[in-house]
Amino acid sequence: MRRRRFLFAGDSAAGQPAQEEAAIDTLLQGLRQAVHLILSLDPEVLEIAGLSLRVSGTALAISVLLGVPLGAALGLRRFTGWSFLRLMLYTGMGLPPVVVGLFVYILLSRNGPLGALNAALIPRLFTPAAMITAQTLIIFPIVTGFTMAALLGVDPLLRQQLLSLGATPWQATLTLLVEARAGIAAAVAAGLGRALAEVGAVMMVGGNIAGETRVLTTAIVLETSKGNFDVAIALGLILLAMALVINFVILQLEERFFRPL
Amino acid sequence: MSEAIFRLRNLRKEYQRRLVLDISYLEIYRGEILVVVGPNGSGKSTLLRLLNFLEPATSGEIEFMGHSIPPGAPVGLHLRRQVTMVFQQPALLNRSVLANVSYGRKVRGMPAQNGAMTRLLERLGLASLAGSHAPNLSGGERQRVALARALAFQPAVLLLDEPTANLDPYNVSLIEGLIRDLNREQGTTMVLVTHNVFQARRLGHRVAFLLNGQVVEIAPAEQFFTAPQDARTRAFLNGELVW
């Protein structure tokens, strides 16, 4: 990855207009460098982007597989403790990533409750698996909560009427999920956005190790702190492009494949 | 009209230990229109939900098409699919009118039969709305869609829970005419719950008066209205408060 340090006008003794001009120039140069880095398929950038995709994609897949059924169940049924569970879920949707990072760090550290077990299935700190664990904890409540809200938005009389029309309980549930598909797609998109944008937790449990646990967000932080704005901007653009493409795929799936029964 | 399609024996339904339905014996004949009248809270809608197997009775027995169904026992899908209900407040799918009407056929794996669906929609004055988004329809149109989707798969029993409440005279007349025609042409058994005693008289072969969950009186429509046997029935028909 080509690195170049940009000097702000403030570093010299120039006046205010000169500072603004230099800042705009820096941004433009950064954009040009970003395009170059993307088009030249820089191996380091590709590796970082690939790890981002793997970590966030896996966390999203786990959250969707567990969160959509759970959110649907919570949206369709009432039981003792339902209100408490919803309160916990909504609180979980606002969990500060650094708190999750701290929690996972303590759990997985060598002397922590899980890390001390030294079991094969327990992720180790400063590995992508630890980052996936942290991201899953962050986005699972989001996917579950939004799915539940989407199901709660469907007419509560509908299920009984579908059963009356001869639907099996499973067919009725599937129909309700399809009715709420726009809300569920929003839940997945929100989870994806949170995962891709997350930096605090993955920095804490991943360590931002080059070639090991460096993802787009942590790399952006690092490159910015080093003054490598072109690289930081390139990584930012890649992050945005990834979010755009994945959201496009999610919407296409929602529109084309989850057609009404 | 002698064969019973439903037999209810000692049927009781409680909600949180409050008895809302207590029917010692009731037969519903194949091919009849049985109208159930009664004041608010008398158990009419609960009776329909039990007949539709949407919830179990607390005790007693429902015999349907010769099959005895004790409380809480699972009802076979083939039996459950013989009965459907048109609700007072229809909840429609967020799809086209045609998709709503076809739903019951699709879940049964029945062929679409577009020609038959079009004729049904024409009969209900919905043909021009087939492609319209169902939730955008007026109250009368929504109720007609609800009726069409219930009729699309030709059920043996059609339960109607105040299907014309809050509708204008045109829609009331249209729906009543259709109920009458379908019963005559296809022999569909119908149980209609209504507050409207005039409608009960217009449509019912037999009329039952339900009060506090109990069948106070059941009789052929003409007899029910001209010579009611129970004082409470007379009072109800005279518009007096009964309890």
How close A140 comes to chain B (CA, Å)?
28
In this prediction the pTM is 0.82
Query: What confidence score (pLDDT) does residue A82 get?
Result: 94
B contacts of A167 (beta carbons < 8 Å): 103, 107
pLDDT in single tens digits along all 261 residues of chain A = 555 444 443 444 455 677 777 778 777 877 887 788 888 888 888 899 999 999 999 999 999 999 999 999 999 988 999 999 999 999 999 999 999 999 999 999 988 899 888 888 899 999 999 999 999 999 999 999 999 999 999 998 999 999 999 999 999 999 999 999 999 999 999 999 999 999 999 999 999 999 999 999 999 999 999 988 878 888 898 899 899 999 899 888 887 765 554
Q: Distances in Å between the alpha carbon of A200 and those of A53, A102, A188?
A: 17, 9, 21
**What does the DSSP 8-state code read for residue B238?**
T
In a mutational test of the B interface, the residue from A151, A154, A160, A161 whose CB has the highest number of chain B CBs within 10 Å is: A161
Query: What confidence score (pLDDT) does residue A8 get?
Result: 40
- Chain B interface includes A162 (CB < 8 A): yes
B contacts of A164 (beta carbons < 8 Å): 52, 54, 83-85, 87
Highest mean pLDDT among B65-74, B119-128, B130-139, B200-209: B200-209
CB nearest to B107's CB, from A155, A161, A167: A167
Note the pLDDT tens digit of each residue in B132-163.
999 899 988 999 999 999 999 999 999 999 99
Could A168 and B77 be called an inter-chain contact, meaning their C-beta atoms sit closer than 8 Å?
Answer: yes
Note the pLDDT tens digit of each residue in A129-171.
999 999 999 999 999 999 999 999 999 899 999 999 999 999 9
- Chain B interface includes A157 (CB < 8 A): yes
How close B215 comes to chain A (CA, Å)?
24
Note the pLDDT tens digit of each residue in A187-216.
999 999 999 999 999 999 999 999 999 999
**Closest-CA residue of chain A to B96:** A260
Could B93 and A160 be called an inter-chain contact, meaning their C-beta atoms sit closer than 8 Å?
Answer: no
Residues 170-199, chain A: which have Cβ within 8 Å of B?
171, 175, 179
Query: What confidence score (pLDDT) does residue A24 get?
Result: 81
How close B130 comes to chain A (CA, Å)?
16
pLDDT at B240 over 60: yes
Predicted ipTM > 0.90 = yes
- Chain B interface includes A259 (CB < 8 A): no
Over residues B218-232, the mean pLDDT reads 95
- According to the 3-state scheme, what is the secondary structure of chain A? CCCCCCCCHHHCCCCHHHHHHHHHHHHHHHHHHHHHHHHCCCHHHHHHHHHHHHHHHHHHHHHHHHHHHHHHHHHHCCCCCHHHHHHHHHHHHCCCHHHHHHHHHHHHCCCCCCHHHCCCCCCCCCCHHHHHHHHHHHHHHHHHHHHHHHHHCCCCCHHHHHHHCCCCHHHHHHHHHHHCHHHHHHHHHHHHHHHHHCCHHHHHHHCCCCCCCCCHHHHHHHHHHHCCHHHHHHHHHHHHHHHHHHHHHHHHHHHHHCCCC
A contacts of B191 (beta carbons < 8 Å): none
How close B231 comes to chain A (CA, Å)?
36
How close A152 comes to chain B (CA, Å)?
14
Give yes or no for a contact between B64 and B156, defined as CB atoms under 8 angstroms apart.
no
How close B84 comes to chain A (CA, Å)?
5
3-class DSSP state of B21: strand
CB nearest to B54's CB, from A155, A164, A171: A164
Could B93 and A260 be called an inter-chain contact, meaning their C-beta atoms sit closer than 8 Å?
Answer: yes
Could A261 and B106 be called an inter-chain contact, meaning their C-beta atoms sit closer than 8 Å?
Answer: yes
Query: What confidence score (pLDDT) does residue B52 get?
Result: 97
